[in-house]
């Protein structure tokens, strides 16, 4: 895939405004399409973020061709990013990330693995998981070494979600901290410190938009406990829509309103910063107006 270099930026600032100036007279829509398609790289690391921070001297390149992995595989999975070490997909809601006792065959891992085998692209390795009803970014590794490096550094990965919730938190932003434990009924609850299986959980949140009945919340995870976001937002009196297990009464989107929006991490081989984004699904955007 051929690419061309742009003149390096001479001051700090976000990527999109700089690109609009550097690529003039290309239209704003055209520049956004380059970003959306993963055709812009900063210091050899592709990014889709409009607000990716630039520093003087950064190397910015634009691919002349759309990357082959962009789009949708033959098994209904959209690939957001792929290189020799990683595959990131946009998992749809309702699809398990990996196999369970109840479902061993139709999972995101199985579908993408089958696609990789069909084109002779080798094996796939699980890095992390998403709940069945959560959509968005799901990362796999293409080598055991990449998987091990990512998992060893997983606490340093920036994981940002978007949640459509009932009502509005009393505070526009804040931090929720508690111990969580899974019960025999598979539901996760707050528990006292020192309790059996108790795990410390920290969630940061910020209200992005308030609708008439529902709000859009940006959520950052400092820990990665099972159902952490769902339990913590419900504890604020704002359960995720469609999440009846944790108290939701409304289901305006016909699905749970939780989406894995952004992942940012050090590439396991190059060390460069990888920043990925999956846009909020339209059905969830409409729920908050």
Could you list the active site residues?
A: 131
Whether residue 182 is found in the same domain as residue 254: yes
Whether residue 19 is found in the same domain as residue 107: no
pLDDT for res 69: 46
Which residues of the chain are modeled with pLDDT < 50?
1, 68-71, 74
Residue 202 CA: distances (Å) to CA of 71, 73, 130, 150: 34, 35, 17, 21
142 occurs within a structural domain: yes
pLDDT for res 70: 43
pLDDT for res 35: 87
278 occurs within a structural domain: no
Among 96, 119, 152, where does a domain finish?
Answer: 152
pLDDT for res 1: 43
pLDDT for res 132: 94
- Structural domain span for residue 20: 3-63
285 occurs within a structural domain: no
218 occurs within a structural domain: yes
CA dist., res. 272 & res. 264, Å (int): 10
pLDDT for res 36: 80
CA dist., res. 268 & res. 86, Å (int): 9
Evaluate if pTM is beyond 0.85.
no
CA nearest neighbour of 82 among 124, 23, 27:
124
pLDDT for res 68: 45
- pLDDT, tens digit (0-9, with 9 covering 90-100), for 152-171: 999 999 999 999 999 999 99
> Number of structural domains, the chain?
3
CATH label of the domain that carries residue 104? 3.30.2350.10
CA angle (181 as vertex; 256, 159 as ends), nearest 5:
50
């Amino acid at each position: 895939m051929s690419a061309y270099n742009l003149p390096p930026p001479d001051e700090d600032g976000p990527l999109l405004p700089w690109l609009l100036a550097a690529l003039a007279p290309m239209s704003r829509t055209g520049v956004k399409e380059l970003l959306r398609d993963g055709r812009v790289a900063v210091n050899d690391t592709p990014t889709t973020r409009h607000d990716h921070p630039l520093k003087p001297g950064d190397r910015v390149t634009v691919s002349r061709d759309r990357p082959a992995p962009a789009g949708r595989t033959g098994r209904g999975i959209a690939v957001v990013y792929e290189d020799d070490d990683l595959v990131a997909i946009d998992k749809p809601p309702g699809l398990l990330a990996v196999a369970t006792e109840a479902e061993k065959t139709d999972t995101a891992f199985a579908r993408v693995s089958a696609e990789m085998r069909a084109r002779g692209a080798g094996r796939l390795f699980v890095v992390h998981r998403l709940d069945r009803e959560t959509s968005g970014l799901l990362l796999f590794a293409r080598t055991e070494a990449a998987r091990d490096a990512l998992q060893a550094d997983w606490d340093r990965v920036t994981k940002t979600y978007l949640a459509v919730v009932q009502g509005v938190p009393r505070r526009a932003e804040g931090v929720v901290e508690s111990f969580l434990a899974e019960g025999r009924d598979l539901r996760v609850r707050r528990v006292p410190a020192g309790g059996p299986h108790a795990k410390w959980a920290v969630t940061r949140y910020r209200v992005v938009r308030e609708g008439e009945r529902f709000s859009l919340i940006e959520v950052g995870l400092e820990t990665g406990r099972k159902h952490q976001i769902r339990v913590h937002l419900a504890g604020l009196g704002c359960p995720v829509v469609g999440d009846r297990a944790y108290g939701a009464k409304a289901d305006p989107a016909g699905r749970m309103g939780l989406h894995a929006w952004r992942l940012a991490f050090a590439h396991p081989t190059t060390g460069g910063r990888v920043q990925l984004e999956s846009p909020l699904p339209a059905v969830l955007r409409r729920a908050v107006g």
